[in-house]
Amino acid sequence: EDATHIRRNILFAFEEAERSNNPAERAAYLTFAIIGGGPTGVELAGTIAELAHETLRGEFRNFSMDEVRVILIEAGPRILPSFKEHLAAYAKRALERLKVEVLTDHMVTECDAGGVHLGETHLATRTILWAAGVQASPAGAWLDLPCDRAGRVLVEPNLTAPGFPDVFVIGDTAHVEDDEGTLVPGVAPAAKQEGRFVAEVIRARLAGKTPPERFRYKNDGSLATIGKRAAIVDFGWVRLRGRLAWWLWGFVHIFFLIGVRNRLMVALSWLWIYWTGQRSARLITQSGSEEREVSD
């Protein structure tokens, strides 16, 4: 649902820019701000840039795609802080080749209907994509548990809720730290490891055995794609960048899909997009009296 909503807003912005006769309003519709320079922000920026400068080029008459601005905003000194510096630097260069503007050391202080505030600077845009972390589910508030600033429950070492030894909290709802005190990332591999650990604890309790006392996260590696031609991969023992890394990124994502049919369909869809540059559907849907559907 989120992906469909994002696609709708992006395509709707191009349609509104096509209809607008106000230069300032058109510029705001053609400016896309992505807040957060992690893997999600980098992937969004690359995808939107390719959509504008390749997929949709030549389809609008009242403006040029060269007017489109895709801006990636990161509060820290560099994007992709979880990757090695040389891989993050490559990702930045790859984004800039796609005409993405990368702003580091810029903290967003406010977002409103008119755009984004970077301290005293105002960036006019009608499309803001937040990729700097999400608010946790309200599970901590339900039980009145201690939480961090994002609402994640400060769990015990065995992933139980403080004061509730029979309640386990995992995934995006849990604030889990490794042995060095570093926050375990809120990604699917971490949640799966936490799920397996909780299963081991419950199984040991039911069997009358001593359950494991502490969850230990194993980082299996990090991947990020930059458009459809480049990616970076960091498995610790091997680090890749470029086209080969992109193919490896795609293989890993397809491998973990459930069912042969899903893997085959996604693989064929991605290959079609890769070789033709065309996406299978470009829909704009809205609710209420403004509902409409546009397809190529």
Question: pLDDT 10s digit of each residue in the chain, 296 long?
Answer: 788 888 889 999 999 999 999 999 999 999 999 999 999 999 999 999 999 988 888 889 999 999 999 999 999 999 998 899 999 999 999 999 999 999 999 999 999 999 999 989 999 999 999 998 878 888 898 889 999 988 999 999 999 999 999 999 999 999 999 888 888 988 888 999 999 999 999 999 999 999 999 999 998 888 899 988 899 999 888 899 998 998 888 888 888 788 888 888 888 887 777 777 665 556 666 653 344 444 33
- For residue 293, the model assigns a pLDDT of 41
Q: Return the C-alpha torsion angle 276, 279, 280, 284, nearest 10.
A: -150
Q: Tokens 């996604």 map to which residue?
A: 266
Q: Are 282 and 296 in contact (CB under 8 A)?
A: yes
CA distance 7 to 44: 11
CA distance 257 to 212: 30
Catalytic entry in 43, 50, 74, 156: 43
Residues 41 and 90 in one domain: yes
- For residue 110, the model assigns a pLDDT of 94
Q: In a 10 Å sphere around its CB, with 0-12 CB exposed, 13-18 middle and 19+ buried, how is residue 83 labelled?
A: buried
Last residue of a domain, one of 116, 133, 150: 133
- For residue 280, the model assigns a pLDDT of 52
- For residue 5, the model assigns a pLDDT of 87
CA distance 147 to 179: 20
Q: How many domains does the chain have?
A: 2
Q: Is 43 an annotated catalytic residue? A: yes
Six-digit token string for 184: 């375990």
Residues 151 and 181 in one domain: yes
Q: Return the DSSP state at 78.
A: S
- For residue 40, the model assigns a pLDDT of 92
- The parent domain of residue 177 ranges over 139-206
- Burial per residue of 260-271, b for 16 or more beta-carbon CB atoms within 10 angstroms, e otherwise: eeeeeeeeeeee
- For residue 278, the model assigns a pLDDT of 63
pTM comes to 0.81
- For residue 295, the model assigns a pLDDT of 37
Residue 25 belongs to domain with CATH number: 3.50.50.60
Last residue of a domain, one of 206, 224, 250: 206
In a domain? residue 115: yes
Six-digit token string for 157: 């070492």
